[in-house]
Amino acid sequence: MKFLRLLLILFVFPTFAQQGGMWIPSLLKGMNETEMKNLGMKITAEDIYSVNKSSMKDAVPHFDGGCTAEVISPKGLILTNHHCGYDNVQSHSTVEHDYLTNGFWAYKMDEELPNKDLFVTFIIRIEDITTKVLEGVTNLPSEAEKQKKIQENITLLTKSLPKEAWQENLIKTFFDGNQYILFVTETFKDVRLVGAPPSSIGKFGSDTDNWVWPRHTGDFSLFRIYADKNNRPAEYSKDNVPYKPKHFFPISLNGVKENDFTMVMGYPGRTQEYLPSFAVEQIMNELNPARIEVRDATLKTQNAFMRKDPAIKIQYAAKNASIANAWKKWIGEAKGLKKSNAVGAKQKFEAALTEKINQAGKQAEYGHVLNEFKTNYANIREYALARDYYNEVVLRNCEILTFGYKLYQLEQVLASKGEQSFNDRKNNLIKGFHDTYKDFNAQVDEKVFEQLVQIYATKSPQQFLPTSLKGIDVAALTADVFKNSKLTTYTGLQELLNGDSKTVIEKMNQDKAYILVKTMAEAYDKNVAPKWNEMNLKNIALQRTYMKAIMELSPKSARIFPDANSTLRVTYGKVKGYKPNDAVYYEPFTTLDGVMEKYVPGDYEFDVPKKLIDLYNTKDFGSYTDKNGKVPVAFIATNHTTGGNSGSPALDAKGNLIGCNFDRVWEGTMSDIYYSPDICRNIMVDSRYILFIIDKFAGAKNLIEELKIVKNTTVKK
Ligand code: ARG
Ligand code: GLU
């Protein structure tokens, strides 16, 4: 009997299936809370989100609009990733004080460094306001009128819904326009740099290890939020005081074991989990390969120059890393989609949904959707491909073309907004280009240009290309552009932009690079953009109806979560290794031993600071060890995360901080489109490694003393 019941439980609640999904924190009660408890959670949904008392959501701000952070002390200390704080660390760095290379630690509060433009945003309250947003919308005759009315309602409600003077109302759509949710927020603008390890810890492994497990990166940095005397948001002032949070996370030294419950709270940016099979096929077989091809050529060229010339290496480091980040993700995504047969799974889902539509007698409302998707994705194919080639070649990877494109926009500003706007824009461009050209090397870009224009002229759908590009001698064009265009140097650019609008436009239109960009842009704007926009709008409307059908016709127990949209979400799962390939199994934990195994003295990716080597050799680990006496570095789990979750708190069953999220494993990056618990894993740096570095490596006892550190069940202060 007992056995039977166990069997039944296992059958009804396959715990492995209860994973994946990014859930709205105010709606966890019910299905999610039950699942989380089944997985081992010891706290309640009310502890995570509450309107009546302080809860965990009060400790998780959006960091600088793109990452996540968590409050870890009663004095407003926050933790995020090294790569999230990177720009701020860089902005304080000089040759004498190179904080990127050597790290930075404030040993007293008055040593903390203010950051212009850095901000963090807390969520005060979350409220479903769908009926308000959709008021007066349903009876409007056309899609365009509906959209317009919705926008008007949102603008009005943003202003009129109740909030305090220092707060903001933010309204976001969920489920592709089927739900609207209000977030009342507070944004703090005095956020100071407190600590960052050297890049040889915070960025250890750099691009080679990016998206890769096993991982050994100490990807964290520390900041502090300052508030006015009333604990409210304020612009930077030396009179501001450390922010007193409503909640902060205790940090656990206990760690987790394989199969333990973990959850991650944060601000995932964008996912597309409900695309129809036709769209997934297109991304996997057509669009990703095209983007990858363009970036392959760019990266190979840049890398060759960077390896030979240290100056070029510095100039191209950030650009190269950012091009490589998405490139590497797309390659992993395509592999993962194939390996997990995402298209097959979608097709099965679509067949089942069609069945349900028929059974429910909803053919009139939903019966057309999948067929229309099919036609529409077939029709948009060439346009989508042309768009990706254009974006990657003209707007993203070839620098001289991106410069030319900015001038093309300048010419359009003159036509649409007149002389004054033209001059303002022109002066801004001249200013902005000053820094851009510091990191520009015409020799590198010439090689990139030649390959990318070749790809564009031969691979981008031919029917949309400007005639002048068809069958062109790319080598000759490249030589001509890089010999004669003013855009190859900053002084050349200044000369080009010198004069009144008429003179400038005349000069631009004689420049070889400009002529090429303009030809490409005009052809694209005429032959591709309008059609793509039209069909894309259709897909957006179809997606809304499709989503509605899914929500309406799925059983109550179905795990349907809204796509990521940069709002606060909760994801949960288990600590778990995975099998990336035949005969290979990855364990879920790494340790300092692995850092030393990867150590390459003097290498730009795998060097290790001497202090860390000394600590390792003398085994000076303090209490920051696992049960084997080793210092844990990183671990993985089945939490469903994406870009924007960087810096997110990783929490154990009791809501204690056990790590800081910073990446996903390469084989599982398809989780943005299709989550599979078999191979999708998020990567977190272990909180014990973070504390070890702060305490033993940096000697910042002042920070350790602020924290609430938990071991077993006792609280050590
Ligand atoms: N892959 C991570 C993310 O998508 C980390 C990127 C930063 N690190 C790097 N080596 N580029 O943001
Ligand atoms: N590194 C990513 C970020 O900056 C998180 C990794 C991911 O995409 O899951 O948000």
**Ligand 1 atom closest to Cα of 328?**
1
- Whole-model pTM? 0.93
Residue 574, beta-bridge partner list: 261
Q: Left (φ > 0), alpha (ψ -120 to 50) or beta: where does 567 sit?
A: beta
Q: Of 26, 55, 221, 646, which one is the catalytic site residue?
A: 646
Q: Which two tokens stand for residue 58?
A: 């009060």
Query: What per-residue confidence (pLDDT) applies to 428?
Result: 97
- Which ligand neighbours the alpha carbon of 215 most closely? 1
Q: Do the bridges between strand 179-188 and strand 77-80 make them parallel or antiparallel, or are there none, so unpaired?
A: unpaired
Assess contact for 642 and 271: CB atoms under 8 A: yes
Q: Of 219, 445, 652, 663, which one is the catalytic site residue?
A: 219
- Find the 325 Cα to ligand 2 centroid distance in Å: 10
Q: Is 88 in the pocket of ligand 1 (CB under 6 A)?
A: no
**Ligand 2 atom closest to Cα of 671?**
9
- Find the 324 Cα to ligand 1 centroid distance in Å: 9
Tell me the C-alpha distance between 409 and 398, whole Å.
17
Mutate to test the pocket of ligand 2, among 662, 669, 682, 685 (most ligand atoms within 8 A of CB): 662
- Find the 341 Cα to ligand 2 centroid distance in Å: 24
Handedness of CA 431, 432, 435, 439 (dihedral sign): negative
- Find the 669 Cα to ligand 2 centroid distance in Å: 10
Q: Is 646 in the pocket of ligand 1 (CB under 6 A)?
A: yes
Mutate to test the pocket of ligand 1, among 67, 84, 270, 646 (most ligand atoms within 8 A of CB): 646
Q: Is 206 in the pocket of ligand 1 (CB under 6 A)?
A: yes
List all residues whose CB is within 6 A of at least one atom of ligand 2. Answer: 641-646, 662-664
Would you call 640 a catalytic residue per the annotation? no
**Ligand 2 atom closest to Cα of 663?**
6
Would you call 62 a catalytic residue per the annotation? no
Query: What per-residue confidence (pLDDT) applies to 2?
Result: 47
**Ligand 2 atom closest to Cα of 642?**
9
Q: Is 211 in the pocket of ligand 1 (CB under 6 A)?
A: yes
**φ, ψ (nearest 5 deg) of residue 333:** -60, -50
Residue of minimum CA distance from atom 8 in ligand 2: 643
Would you call 50 a catalytic residue per the annotation? no
Tell me the C-alpha distance between 470 and 245, whole Å.
62
Q: Which of 348, 364, 357 is nearest to 554 (CA)?
A: 357
Q: Is 83 in the pocket of ligand 1 (CB under 6 A)?
A: yes
**Ligand 2 atom closest to Cα of 67?**
10
Q: Is 207 in the pocket of ligand 1 (CB under 6 A)?
A: yes
Assess contact for 36 and 572: CB atoms under 8 A: yes
- Find the 196 Cα to ligand 1 centroid distance in Å: 16
The amino acid present at 556, given as its one-letter code, is: K
- Find the 563 Cα to ligand 1 centroid distance in Å: 21
**Ligand 2 atom closest to Cα of 84?**
4
Q: Is 222 helix (H, G, I), strand (E, B) or coil?
A: strand
Q: Which two tokens stand for residue 557?
A: 């127990």
Cα dihedral 638, 642, 645, 650 in deg (nearest 10): 0
Residue of minimum CA distance from atom 7 in ligand 1: 83
- Find the 338 Cα to ligand 2 centroid distance in Å: 22
- Find the 210 Cα to ligand 1 centroid distance in Å: 6
**Ligand 2 atom closest to Cα of 645?**
10
Mutate to test the pocket of ligand 1, among 661, 663, 664 (most ligand atoms within 8 A of CB): 663
Q: Is 328 in the pocket of ligand 1 (CB under 6 A)?
A: no
Query: What per-residue confidence (pLDDT) applies to 345?
Result: 96
Residue of minimum CA distance from atom 6 in ligand 2: 663
Residue 90 CA: distances (Å) to CA of 100, 318, 334, 397, 484 = 6, 11, 34, 23, 36
What are the average pLDDT values for consecutive 10-residue runs of the chain, which has 717 residues?
45 59 97 96 98 96 98 98 93 86 97 97 97 94 88 98 98 97 98 98 96 98 98 98 98 97 98 98 97 98 92 86 95 94 97 97 97 98 98 98 98 96 97 94 98 98 95 97 98 97 98 98 98 94 96 92 98 97 96 98 94 98 97 98 98 98 97 96 98 98 98 61
Which residue's structure tokens are 């409600």? 157
Instruction: List, in sequence order, the alpha helices (H) in 418-489.
Output: 419-438, 442-459, 474-484
Query: What per-residue confidence (pLDDT) applies to 646?
Result: 98
Helices 399-417, 419-438: crossing angle, 10 deg rounding? 170
